[in-house]
Amino acid sequence: MDDNPDIESELPERAYEMDANLVDSVLSFIETQDKNGLVALFDQYHAADIADLFEQIDPTSRSALIHLWGKEIDGEVFAEMDEGLSG
């Protein structure tokens, strides 16, 4: 049993902040066409987190991300994506 319920109540907010920061960073890399920065950023995240990012951005940004990331895309990211995700 956890004696500190405050920590649990903060976890979803922290997770959302991480996701928002990741989205902002990725959109910035897309805008500046910074592939090296994008690859370095994604190296810090699990494939499931990156798949979640794909689901959070609009189709135009998603397409630009795929184009920028190119051959560096980890196939595991696609395995983690929602089957219904459309571009």
What SS3 state is found at 33? coil
- Give tens-digit pLDDT for 22-77: 899 999 999 999 999 999 999 999 999 999 999 889 999 999 999 999 988 888 99
Residue 23 structure tokens = 């989205």
Range of the domain at 60: 5-80
What pTM did the predictor assign? 0.72
Residue 19 within a domain: yes
Residue 72 within a domain: yes
* CA angle at 22 for the pair 27 and 45, rounded to the nearest 5°: 125
Residue 74 structure tokens = 């980890």
Residue 26 within a domain: yes
Number of domains in the chain: 1
Residue 87 within a domain: no
Please give the Cα distance from 55 to 84 (Å, whole number): 10
